[in-house]
A = this chain, B = another copy of it.
Amino acid sequence: MRNTQSSSLRRQRLIEAAHQVFSDLGYEGATVASITARAQIATGSFYRYFPSKEACFLDLLDTLYGELMRAVLAARARGKDAEEKLLLSVEAAVTSFLAQGPLARLVASSRHGAQPAVRARVQTVAGEMARLLARDFDELADGSRSPLEVLAAGQFLVGGLETLLDGVLAEEPPPPPGDILPVVRRLTIGMIGGFRNAR
C-alpha cells in the first residue's frame, strides 16, 4: 500500500518519531526500524529523508538546539545587563526544553554516544551554550575571574539544568511546567548571586 501524503507531512512525522525514539532509547538503543515504525513509513523511506541514522540524529540535534539558541538569543536581547541576560537565557532555555519535550534526555543521552561524530556535535553544541553563559559570568565579575572559572560556571549552569530537567522529566508523573520554572529561576538567581559574591 502506497502512502500518498505530502512529502513534508511525512518528513514531519518522521522527525517527530525520531525525536521521540531517540529520546526514549538513546542514540544506540534507537533503531532505524523503530523510528520508521513509529512514523508509519517503510524502513527504506528513512533514507529518502536522511542519508544515515547519524545524520538524522545530528539534524535533529541541530534543529532543536537551533530553536533553543534562537529562543535564548531572542530573550537575552531584552536583558539590560549580564545578570538579566543570564536569567532570561535560562528561562528561555528551560521553557524551550519543556516545550520540546524530551530534548533534555536526548542531549544527556548522547553526550558520550559511541559515534565520535555524535559525541563531538553534542559537546560542541552544549559547549556553545556554556560559552555563551560564560561570557555573562565574565561580565558579571567585571573580568575579575579566570577564564577557567567563568567557563566552569557556564558549564556548571548548563549541566545542572540539563540534569535537573532530565531528572524532573523522568519523574512519574512529571510535575507541571508551571512548578518547574519558578524553581529553576530561583536556583539560577541564587547561583548568579552566589557567583558574584563568592570570594
Contacts and interface: CB of A to CB of B under 8 A. Distances in A.
B184 A25 contact: no
A113 B26 contact: yes
A71 to B, nearest CB: 21
Contacts of A114: 25-26, 28-30
Contacts of A158: 163
Given A29-B114, A168-B155, A175 B148 contact: yes
**Oligomer copy total:** 4
Interface residues of A, number: 57
A113 B27 CA distance: 8
Interface string A160-180: 111110111010000100011
A17 to B, nearest CB: 17
A68 B167 CA distance: 21
Interface of A: 25-30, 105, 108-115, 123, 126-127, 130, 146, 148-149, 151-153, 155-164, 166-168, 170, 175, 179-180, 183-184, 186-187, 189-199
